[in-house]
Amino acid sequence: MIQPSDRLNSVQEYWFSTKLKEIAELKAQGKNIVELGVGGPDMPPSEETINALCQEAQKPNTHGYQSYVGIPELRRAFADWYKKWFNVELNPNAEVQPLIGSKEGIMHISLAFLNAGDGVLVPNPGYPTYAAVSNLVQARVIPYELDEANGWYPDFKALEKLDLSNVKLMWINYPNMPTGAPATLELFEKLVAFGKKHNIVIVNDNPYSFVLNDKQLSILAVEGAKDVCIELNSMSKSHNMPGWRMGVLATNAQFLKWILQVKTNMDSGIFRPLQVAAVAALSNSEAWHKEFNYNLYARRRKIAEKIMNALNCKFDPMQVGLFLWGRIPENYADSAELADKLLYEANVFVTPGFIFGSQGKRYIRLSLCATEERLQEALDRINNL
């Protein structure tokens, strides 16, 4: 019999992939599900972005294969964007790599830096893809716990007690998902120092820095950070472009060359009209960002907080980002029990925190990617349970 590779024993189908199939079946049965699970912005990109895409796509000579490193205009636009919003200087020709969404960058980085058996520090709770990709490349996942009592930041004393001799990579994600913990310069300085001390590559996954957040921070702003750090960024959340699959990787020239050795064997470039449109999006005004990354979500967040209160969940009002993370009451065994109750009794889909690791088992996550009307409908249904 034909059998799949052994590496499939280390991963499962992505939780959202299987759950959304169930949601689709419930909808097919006539259920009106209010979806507060996935963090996919429901508003369109700026008008300038869409116009740039359409105009470029109409040209007869724009549909061929593209450079693996992206068009020069896009690399420069990303560098200018980093300078404007993060105060980080990047060489667009050597330190900036456009990606087909930042998620692919997780695989490229892992393949470029990790040998079988190498250690990888992965946050718990954290984005499940960090551990999944590490397992796929046969690295050794070493979870490090994030705790609410410590502001959902790494415990550096605990990290120093680990055997770090074979650790090559550390995944971090600030502003944090799922907890909403904000980035701080002090945190980034500690992480850079930790990476340099132990020769560990620190990778900050940074797609949430604009949402409900007044100050954008990059780990690359720390002096000397480029020596050991890589930052992934994405236009999915900050520019309402989740389906466009447009991301970027920024690091030093040597790291980027190694990553390109992987990437150039896995794709054939990004469709040029998408790149041209991304250039336009990166020039979105401060007023656009204020409305679509702050005001819009602030209105929705007020209703999400009412939902948390209706469920007797506790949450930190200082959270930033696209979600609201709350601790469930003690009368539920775990987050799965509460999430299932909401789905099957109220037709409201929320994300149980256990999917992000054992540290999330007593939390749920609400997405702000639903209209105020739908959020209010969810609140009304929950109040009527």
pLDDT at 11: 81
- pLDDT over 90 at 351, yes or no: yes
| pLDDT tens track for 268-309 | 999 999 999 999 999 999 999 999 999 999 999 999 999 999
Asked if residue 256 belongs to a domain, the reply is: yes
Q: Among residues of the chain, what percentage have pLDDT more than 70? A: 100
pLDDT at 37: 92
Q: Are residues 117 and 158 in the same domain?
A: yes
- pLDDT over 90 at 96, yes or no: yes
Asked if residue 58 belongs to a domain, the reply is: yes
Asked if residue 1 belongs to a domain, the reply is: no
Radius of gyration of the chain (CA): 21
Are the beta carbons of 283 and 48 closer than 8 angstroms?
yes
How far is residue 178's CA from residue 362's CA, in Å, rounded to a whole number? 13
pLDDT at 15: 79
Q: Among residues of the chain, what percentage have pLDDT more than 90? A: 94
Tokens 């893809």 locate to 129
Q: Are residues 136 and 251 in the same domain?
A: yes
Q: Strand runs (DSSP E) across the chain, as ranges?
A: 34-36, 96-99, 119-124, 140-145, 167-172, 201-205, 229-234, 247-250, 314-315, 323-327, 348-352, 363-367
| pLDDT tens track for 253-262 | 999 999 999 9
Q: Name the domain boundary from 281, 306, 341.
A: 281
pLDDT at 308: 98
**Helix or strand run (H / E) with residue 375:** helix 372-383
Q: Give the Å distances, CA to CA, from 285 to 6, 141, 217.
A: 49, 41, 18
Q: Are residues 209 and 121 in the same domain?
A: yes
pLDDT at 273: 98
| pLDDT tens track for 156-168 | 999 999 999 999 9
Output phi, psi for 343, to 5 deg: -70, -45
- pLDDT over 90 at 16, yes or no: no
Q: Name the domain boundary from 258, 281, 304.
A: 281
Q: Are residues 53 and 103 in the same domain?
A: yes
Are the beta carbons of 259 and 108 closer than 8 angstroms?
yes
> What CATH number is associated with residue 63?
3.40.640.10
Output phi, psi for 215, to 5 deg: -135, 120
Q: Are residues 18 and 126 in the same domain?
A: no
**pLDDT level of residue 17 (50, 70, 90 thresholds):** confident
Tokens of 151: 């502001």
282 by DSSP, 3-state: which? coil
Q: Are residues 70 and 57 in the same domain?
A: yes
pLDDT at 20: 84
Asked if residue 274 belongs to a domain, the reply is: yes
Q: Are residues 310 and 250 in the same domain?
A: no
| pLDDT tens track for 216-248 | 999 999 999 999 999 999 999 999 999 999 999
pTM: 0.95
Asked if residue 311 belongs to a domain, the reply is: yes
Nearest Cα to 229, choosing from 276, 192, 274? Answer: 192
Q: Are residues 190 and 253 in the same domain?
A: yes
Are the beta carbons of 183 and 210 closer than 8 angstroms?
no
Q: Number of folded domains in the chain?
A: 2
How far is residue 249's CA from residue 220's CA, in Å, rounded to a whole number? 11
Q: Are residues 144 and 39 in the same domain?
A: no
Q: Are residues 254 and 327 in the same domain?
A: no
Rounded average pLDDT over 39-43: 93
pLDDT at 118: 98
Asked if residue 367 belongs to a domain, the reply is: yes
* Greatest extent of the chain over all pairs of C-alpha atoms, in Å: 63
> What CATH number is associated with residue 36?
3.90.1150.10
Q: Name the domain boundary from 281, 311, 333.
A: 281
Question: What totals of helices (H) and strands (E) does the chain contain, helices first?
Answer: 14, 12
Domain containing 269 equals 47-281
pLDDT at 7: 87
Tokens of 9: 């024993």
pLDDT at 343: 95
Q: Are residues 170 and 264 in the same domain?
A: yes
Q: Average per-residue pLDDT in the chain?
A: 96
Q: Are residues 235 and 375 in the same domain?
A: no
Rounded average pLDDT over 122-147: 96
| pLDDT tens track for 170-181 | 999 999 999 999
